[in-house]
Amino acid sequence: MNKEMGSSSSQYPVGYWDQLVTEKEAAKFLGYSVRALQNWRLRGGGPPYVKVSSRSVRYRRGDFRDWAHERRRTSTSDTGGGAPPSKLNLDD
């Protein structure tokens, strides 16, 4: 975990997870295409985003990190409902 999440680790600078990044950076982090992010925005189900202007979208690093961790599963029969994201070690 990073400092902001209550750990003594200084792997990430203060404010790192609050920074806004582009679609391309978010897609790269998540391992999906920019088109997948665009489809999720249209249909729902994707990570939260910030609409900066009518043609500009950004993602908060902490939001897409938390979104990915909320979907972690340990087996195919795991339906979720485990520890909330704030209780997970998000820096594995």
**Per-residue pLDDT tens listing for the chain (92 residues):** 434 444 444 688 999 999 999 999 999 999 999 999 999 999 998 999 999 999 999 999 999 999 999 988 889 888 876 555 444 455 54
Domain contains 85 = no
Q: What is the pLDDT of residue 5?
A: 45
Structure tokens at 27: 């897609």
Domain contains 77 = no
Partners of residue 87 on adjacent β-strands: none
Domain contains 79 = no
Q: What is the pLDDT of residue 73?
A: 87
Alpha carbons 85 and 71: distance in angstroms, whole number: 10
Q: What is the pLDDT of residue 1?
A: 42
Phi, psi of 51, deg, nearest 5: -95, 100
Alpha carbons 62 and 67: distance in angstroms, whole number: 8
pTM: predicted TM-score of the whole model, two decimal places? 0.70
Q: What is the pLDDT of residue 83?
A: 54
The total of structural domains in the chain comes to: 1
Alpha carbons 36 and 23: distance in angstroms, whole number: 10
Question: What Rg do the C-alpha atoms of the chain give, in angstroms?
Answer: 14
